[in-house]
Amino acid sequence: MNGLDVGASLRKYLVAGLLVWLPLAITLWVLTQALGVVNGVFGSLLSALALVVPASLRDGLLELGHVPGLGLLILAGGLLATGVLVANIFGQWLLTQWDRLMSHIPIVKSIYSSVKQVSDTLFSSSGNAFREAVLVQYPRAGSWTIAFVTGTPSGEVACHLDGEHTSVYVPTTPNPTSGFFLIVPTADIRPLQMTVDEALKYIISMGTVAPQVQPDSPCAPLDPARNPQGSADPQGRSNQPG
């Protein structure tokens, strides 16, 4: 074996090892960063609370900030308790009063109201935003990309449009958190059967991780058991050897 063969083999093994460990390393890094942010916020809250509690409780309170994962557990518990609270009439009344208070604070009201509208649209169970992946022509006719349906145009925008249109978000690769908002004719949209998660993987991987085609999809390969030799496929072509 010459030097070129050894170098090629080493390079192949290094790439294979990288493909095994890189996803795990990135996952651990993201989780570590997220946990660090949560622990930082939790520690700041404990420090602020330590200023108002009696001195005898101060040291024990600050020690809670060194318990691994406690901030994450308290955050999850707080979110769960908040969800239970706002699910009833009294909680809805409290939420309305809180929104009214935030809407009267200068500067804060513009940020809070904008974030609330976006979060209500994205995470509401009754909303349609980011529930469907589609194909649209972008950035020019004949060039296709994956987009996510965000809704339908309304208000003044809809008044200036002729025919039925759909609002879509076109993410960039490999960072889907940035992208472009487009309003396209509904007739020019091609729906996809892949889920939103599968579409995101396809985008982030730059097309290298293609989702599996569903059996009931018109793009699914023909099943030899269902389409024996000599029968015609759905396109009307014969499968007999030429």
Distance (Å, whole) CA 122 – CA 116: 10
- % of the chain residues with pLDDT over 90: 16
pLDDT reading at 1 higher than 70: no
Give the model's confidence band at 186: pLDDT under 50 very low, under 70 low, under 90 confident, else very high: very high
- Tally the C-alpha atoms within 13 A of residue 121's C-alpha that lie toward its C-beta: 12
Residue 106 lies in a domain: yes
Does 237 reside within a domain? no
Out of 81, 101, 127, a domain closes at 127
Cα–Cα distances (Å) from 155 to 148, 158, 161, 170, in that order, read: 21, 6, 11, 22
pTM of the model: 0.56
Burial of 194 (0-12, 13-18, 19+ CB in 10 A): buried
109 DSSP 8-state letter? H
Radius of gyration of the chain (CA): 27
For 165, the token pair is: 């249109």
For residues 185-206, average pLDDT: 90
Structure tokens at 159: 């008044």
Give Cα 182 distance to the centre of its chain.
18
DSSP annotation of 188 reads: G
DSSP state of 214: P
Q: State the Cα torsion 32-37-43-48 to the nearest 10°.
A: 180
Query: What is the domain count for the chain?
Result: 3
Check residue 36 and give its pLDDT.
Answer: 84
Q: How much is the pLDDT for 42?
A: 84
Q: How far apart are CA 109 and CA 186, in angstroms?
A: 35
Those residues whose C-beta lies under 8 Å from the C-beta of residue 102, and which sit 6 or more positions away, are: 108, 109, 112, 113
pLDDT at position 2: 65
Does 225 fall in a domain?
A: no
Kindly list the strands in the beta sheet with 133-137, ordered across the sheet, starting from the edge strand earlier in the chain. Answer: 179-185, 165-171, 144-151, 133-137, 190-191
Alpha-carbon distance of 153 to 168, in angstroms, equals: 10
Domain that holds residue 168: 133-204
Q: What percent of the chain has pLDDT over 70?
A: 83
What is the predicted pLDDT for the residue at 121?
66
> Average pLDDT, whole number, for the chain?
81
180 part of a folded domain: yes
- Report if residue 223 sits inside a domain: no
Mark which of 109, 127, 145 sits at the end of a domain: 127
In a domain, 108, yes or no: yes
Assess whether 137 and 122 both reside in one domain: no
User: What's the mean pLDDT in 195-211?
Assistant: 87
Residues 39 and 57 occupy one common structural domain: yes
* pLDDT tens, position by position, 43-79: 888 888 888 888 778 788 778 877 877 888 888 888 8
Query: In this structure, are 110 and 166 located in the same domain?
Result: no
- Mean pLDDT along residues 103-124: 79
> Residue written as tokens 């939420």?
95
In sequence order, the β-bridge partners of residue 135 are 146, 190
Predicted local distance difference test score (pLDDT) of residue 104:
87
Contact between 32 and 40 under an 8 Å Cβ cutoff? The reply is no
Kindly tell me if the per-residue pLDDT of 149 is higher than 70: yes
218 pLDDT above the threshold of 70: no
Report whether 134 contacts 147 (CB < 8 A).
yes
Cis peptide before 139 (omega within 30 of 0): yes
| Closest CA relative to residue 167, chosen from 150, 192, 188 | 150
User: Rounded mean pLDDT of 11-16?
Assistant: 84
112 and 56 fall within a common domain:
no
Q: Whole-angstrom Cα distance, residue 83 to residue 99?
A: 16
110 and 141 housed in the same domain: no
Specify if 218 maps to a domain: no
- 227 in a domain, yes or no? no
